[in-house]
Amino acid sequence: MRESCLKMVYELAKTDERVVFIGSDLGVGVLSEFKKDIPSRFFMEGVSEQNLVGVAAGMALEGRIVYLNTIATFLSRRCYEQVAVDLCLHNVNVRLIANGGGVVYAPLGPTHLAIEDLAIMRALPNMTIVAPADAVEMVRFMKVSVDHPGPIYIRVAKGHDPVVTTDTGPFVIGKAVPMRDGDEVLIATTGIGLQVSLAAAEKLATAGIRAAVLHFPTVKPLDTIALHEHVKQAAVVVSVEEHTVIGGLGSAIAEDLAEADLLSGRRFKRFGIPDVFPKGYGDQTGMLRKYGVSAENVAEQVKALLVGRPGQTIRVAA
């Protein structure tokens, strides 16, 4: 997904003179073609995220469209004031390409995990947040990223993730994507949570439970129209995300549904990292599984929620 994303920056730069790339201290050879072909608009400026965001803002105030790339946690935590003031207050066209959103860097430990990036970016006015599920969706998004007004936080997954999206048309920023129909359960998800959610829905189907999967590649602005439409059929609503349960997609949905009075009579649960710094190392999938973000756990918990509903007939397969 990262490679596809960066390759698209080069493609966009070839046809649009406004496009500029800024990296911090990325891996050797990143965008070498871009650097060779368009050196005046390629910048690799060192481990200095506060400065990078300010520089990107300065260029964008002059009409450039700046794609700024480094590791997600350094692009969210380290320079949060710059993101808030330089990008969001000025509402400039800077696209933050955040490598390793979530627990991609599980082997590297908690300093490298971006598990609250969606929460802190959501809190900023003017910020758009996008978390594609796979490389195909990323490419579709990148094509429309150029002319979108204001800053965008682009959460990038690990790379070589299975392609699970099926749309081929233009990506629409702010639109949720129905991935599976079902009138008993709604699983709302974003990013690579889509893989987990589709697998969980499949497991539920084998137990005779009809679960819809609604994918939110745009976390902000939230597509509340699609959300309300899908919630109306469901007795159980859950969110699945590679993120702390505080402030991410699950929180966004809960806030919206509570205010729209669409939670009453329904069971609701967020699947994500609990309120801890994740412990241990291993890999992304193992780390997610440890904290319950797995198809097996989501399916089991959803069954329990269905059983626990007042007046609900127990219909879980033995």
Binding site for another protein (CB under 8 A): 20, 40-41, 43, 45-46, 48, 50-64, 81-82, 85-86, 89-90
Whichever of 52 and 204 has its CB closer to another protein, that residue is 52
Strand partners, 273: 244
List own/partner pairs for 44-51 with CB under 8 A and 24 or more apart. Answer: 48/24, 49/24, 49/74, 49/75, 49/78, 49/79, 49/82, 50/78, 50/79, 50/81, 50/82
C-alpha to C-alpha distances, 112 to 3, 105, 122, 132, 134, nearest whole angstrom: 20, 6, 20, 20, 21
CB of 44 to another protein, least distance (A): 10
8 A C-beta contact, residue 222 and residue 257? no
CB of 150 to another protein, least distance (A): 13
CB of 79 to another protein, least distance (A): 8
Whichever of 18 and 290 has its CB closer to another protein, that residue is 18
What angle do helix axes 295-308 and 193-206 make, rounded to 10 degrees? 50
CB of 40 to another protein, least distance (A): 5
CB of 60 to another protein, least distance (A): 8
Instruction: In whole angstroms, give the CA distance from residue 289 to residue 271.
Output: 11
Whichever of 69 and 239 has its CB closer to another protein, that residue is 69
Residue 110: asked if its preceding bond is cis (omega within 30°), the reply is no
CB of 101 to another protein, least distance (A): 24
CB of 59 to another protein, least distance (A): 4
Whichever of 59 and 103 has its CB closer to another protein, that residue is 59
CB of 214 to another protein, least distance (A): 37
Token pair listed for 264: 């009453």
Whichever of 91 and 233 has its CB closer to another protein, that residue is 91
CB of 97 to another protein, least distance (A): 17
Whichever of 2 and 64 has its CB closer to another protein, that residue is 64
Whichever of 20 and 306 has its CB closer to another protein, that residue is 20
Whichever of 94 and 103 has its CB closer to another protein, that residue is 94
- What is the identity of the amino acid at 165? T
Whichever of 60 and 209 has its CB closer to another protein, that residue is 60
